Structure 1
Amino acid sequence: MPSPLRRLIAPRALLRDRTSVRLDDGREIDVERVRDPRARRLRLTVGERGARLTLPPRASLVAGQRFLHLHRDWLALQLATQDPDGIVALVPGDSATLPLRGALLPLRWEQGRYASLRVDADGALFALPPRAGPAALRRCLRDFYEAQARADVGRWLPRYLPALPRAPARIRLRPMSSQWGSLAANGALALDLALVLGEPAAFEYVLVHELCHLIHADHSPAFWAEVEARCPDWRRQRAYFHAEGRRLKARLHALLSA
């Protein structure tokens, strides 16, 4: 078909309607669905007016719903990040609290020769040079959270090592989009840095869960028996993540990406 004729018969207006997607926490999220003749691929965005799914002309509605379902974790994270209920980036000299281990520590600011963040008897103290930019603040904050998380793991790990076939090859702490932890075939263990923002018992459960994969690589009854032996209240901790997990990840994302 000649291109001028294609332009004449192609739809020029955006066609809009509504759809929805159910998140893992049970919430039903309303999504604006837009068929855009200029779009070349499926696209999911979140703005001030909520979630929007853009479909190219030839994409089916079924493909759109499948795309929504596959990206529901990302959608939940974006919605939580935009939630005004306390999930915001740190503002130097202004923010008064710092999330850590299931609590909000009182946060004080002072001028310093270099960026540093430490916990003391009065809460947390953040020192920044006068000309420190957002990158310096984010780097200091991430280093602080990683040091705190490693201190927790270092306190818990010796309790479990004697009953394991081997120790983890190494432990890495980093932000993770959907998982809370993973164990590679070579024994390298990864943990979500957002865990240090939540309740310590929940963090320890994730560590135990991944360590038990050194015994059983699957999620068989034998695996869960090993978890139960080390963490009898693992069901309560798992329920905690179902209720608060998205918020923890969104809070870390807001803190480290502003």
Structure 2
Amino acid sequence: MFFRARPPQVATPAAPRAPLRATLPDGGTVEVRCVENRRVRGLRLTVTERGVRLTMPPRTSERRALAFVQEHAGWLAGQLRHTFDGVEPLQVGTSTTLPLRGVDVPLAWREGRFLRVELEEAGIAATLPPALDARRVRKAFADFYLAQARADVGRWLPKYLPSLPRAPRDVSIRPLTSLWGSLAPDGRMRLDLALVIAPPAAFEYVLVHELCHLIQANHSSAFWDEVERRYPDWEAQRDLLRTRGRPIKAALRAACDTPAG
């Protein structure tokens, strides 16, 4: 007896849908990215730092999709205000401030031979060679944020390690879409780069939160007791991230346009 192997069935990805252009109550318009998903039955509208997304079942008509978005235009306008009001895209050579650690820090532009973004006593200084590609400049600002975030973690981590069963295997800092941090079963920790834009107390709370998962790999009352023991102000910082999370993430994207993972 033998069995004939069948070729693996590979799902054909749905063709990308063209974005919709919705009209807001004030007369302005917004682009809505459309995503088909076979696992959803209804239509779902979400707003993140990356913009507006409509998730829908396959073969949903454009007419129905647009009608759904327009039906929720008032809600959509409020979500856009919450996420993007006060968030200014970085204008290379002209922006005068940069968000960092909960405040807008003065930003000065200089000419020089080498591309650098540095924190000085008076603020942030960006040195630009002539005729430099804007993408490289934004990458330099992303690297600047990463260096600042690593410095913060390096300053806070030593005071918590003695009370832990072990140190995290490693700590990576990069833009995250929906999370502020995570701890894998093997001890690898991820932290959202946008936390360096939040007030430092909120950033430190997230670090403590993930470290406590080395003791309790859950969100039980015992876990929160461990957090409370190390960071009594944790509830205020958690609430701040819940209410201001999207604007903070949007500010990072506006400053360096770094894709989240």
Alignment pair present for 1:76 and 2:84: no
Deviation digits for residues 38-92 of structure 1 (CA, Å, limit 9, x no counterpart) = x978787676524658699xx9xx8233x43xxx3xx232265996633232212
Deviation digits for residues 140-181 of structure 1 (CA, Å, limit 9, x no counterpart) = 111100000000000000000001011011110000000000
Corresponding residue for 1:92?
Answer: 92
Alignment pair present for 1:49 and 2:29: yes
Deviation larger for 208-217 or 236-245: 236-245
Unaligned runs of 5+ in 1: 1-38
Corresponding residue for 2:133?
Answer: 133
Structure 1 residues 238 and 119, CA gap change in structure 2 (3 angstroms): same
Structure 1 residues 184 and 168, CA gap change in structure 2 (3 angstroms): same
| 8 Å Cα contact 1:81-1:253 kept in structure 2 | no
Is the partner of 1:105 in helix, strand or coil?
strand
Is the partner of 2:119 in helix, strand or coil?
strand
Alignment pair present for 1:244 and 2:244: yes
Corresponding residue for 1:34?
Answer: none
Corresponding residue for 2:195?
Answer: 195
Corresponding residue for 1:254?
Answer: 254
Is the partner of 2:124 in helix, strand or coil?
strand
The separation in 2 between residues aligned to 1:148 and 1:55, in whole angstroms, is 35
Structure 1 residues 149 and 102, CA gap change in structure 2 (3 angstroms): same
| 8 Å Cα contact 1:115-1:126 kept in structure 2 | yes
Aligned residue identity for 1:176: L
The separation in 2 between residues aligned to 1:50 and 1:83, in whole angstroms, is 14
Residue 186 (structure 1) shift = 1.0
Structure 1 residues 218 and 41, CA gap change in structure 2 (3 angstroms): same
| 8 Å Cα contact 1:202-1:237 kept in structure 2 | yes
TM-score (norm 2): 0.73
Deviation digits for residues 91-123 of structure 1 (CA, Å, limit 9, x no counterpart) = 122100011000101111001111111111211
The separation in 1 between residues aligned to 2:203 and 2:166, in whole angstroms, is 21
The separation in 2 between residues aligned to 1:116 and 1:54, in whole angstroms, is 38
Is the partner of 2:135 in helix, strand or coil?
helix
| 8 Å Cα contact 2:107-2:124 kept in structure 1 | yes
The separation in 2 between residues aligned to 1:81 and 1:142, in whole angstroms, is 25
Is the partner of 2:108 in helix, strand or coil?
strand
The number of aligned residues is 211
The separation in 2 between residues aligned to 1:129 and 1:118, in whole angstroms, is 15
Unaligned runs of 5+ in 2: 1-13, 23-27, 52-78
Please list, as runs of the form range in 1=range in 2, the aligned pairs for 1:1-258 lying within 5 A after superposition.
49-50=29-30, 52=32, 63-65=41-43, 67-68=44-45, 72=46, 75-77=47-49, 78=51, 80=80, 85-257=85-257
The separation in 1 between residues aligned to 2:122 and 2:224, in whole angstroms, is 41
Structure 1 residues 131 and 187, CA gap change in structure 2 (3 angstroms): same
Is the partner of 2:48 in helix, strand or coil?
helix
Aligned residue identity for 1:182: S
Structure 1 residues 231 and 43, CA gap change in structure 2 (3 angstroms): farther
The separation in 1 between residues aligned to 2:150 and 2:35, in whole angstroms, is 44
The separation in 1 between residues aligned to 2:15 and 2:195, in whole angstroms, is 38
The separation in 2 between residues aligned to 1:82 and 1:236, in whole angstroms, is 19
The separation in 2 between residues aligned to 1:166 and 1:88, in whole angstroms, is 41
TM-score (norm 1): 0.74
Structure 1 residues 245 and 45, CA gap change in structure 2 (3 angstroms): farther
The separation in 2 between residues aligned to 1:53 and 1:148, in whole angstroms, is 33
Say what the alpha-carbon RMSD is for the aligned residues: 2.8
Aligned residue identity for 1:64: G
